[in-house]
Each structure stands twice: as C-alpha cells, then as structure tokens.
Amino acid sequence: MTSKQRAYLKGLAMTMEPIFQIGKSSLTPELTAAVGEALAKRELIKISVLQNCMDDPHELAEIVAERTRSQVVQVIGKKIVLYKEGKEGKKKIELPKASGKQRG
C-alpha cells in the first residue's frame, strides 16, 4: 500500500465509528471471525480497544491483520483501522492508483 493510498483510507476512516470493541478477554476466535466477515463486507473498519484490555493496540492490530489477511491502516491511541481489498467486481473502495515514477 502506498502512502497516498494509506492517506486516502485514513481520511475515509476519520468519520467512521468503531464497529468492534476489544476488551478484557482480548482477541477471541469469535471476534477474529467477526472482524474477518466485516472486512469482507465493508473493506474498511475501525476497532476500539477498551481501557480494560491490557494488550498493546499496535500488537493487537498486527495480530488481527495477520489472522484476517488485512492491512493495518493506522493505530491512533486505542483505535485500530484495518483495510482488506474486496474481491474483483465487488469492491466498495477504489484506492488511488499507485503511480510508478514520481516527477520532480
């Protein structure tokens, strides 16, 4: 993912509300499965890490991304934003093109 694409996704995520919360029980298989399903439908989701979760949000983001085959867009405080590109023909989010050489 290019920095331009990441910036675009961050902009989209700014107005989103978290649809999942990670709490005291941290990452459960059920939560991981639900996040995977949500990514398949929405492509871009936000997750909130609650105060009673003792795990580091950055580590949680990497683990969830690995398990759901998605990408971490950003982690700000206790908010995680994940992106998973939709299947061809079913894409909801059109990323800016990754340009080859930059002029300058």
Q: What is the CATH number of domain 3-83?
A: 3.30.110.60
Q: Is the pLDDT of residue 103 over 50?
A: no
Spans of all domains in the chain:
3-83
CA distances from 29 to 26, 67, 86 (A): 10, 10, 22
Q: Which range is least confidently modeled, 5-9, 17-21, 58-62, 77-81? A: 5-9
Residues 1-49 have pLDDT tens digits of 888 989 999 999 999 999 999 999 888 999 999 999 999 999 999 999 9
Say whether pTM exceeds 0.85. Answer: yes
Query: What does the DSSP 8-state code read for residue 40?
Result: H
User: In whole angstroms, what is the distance from residue 88 CA to residue 49 CA?
Assistant: 31
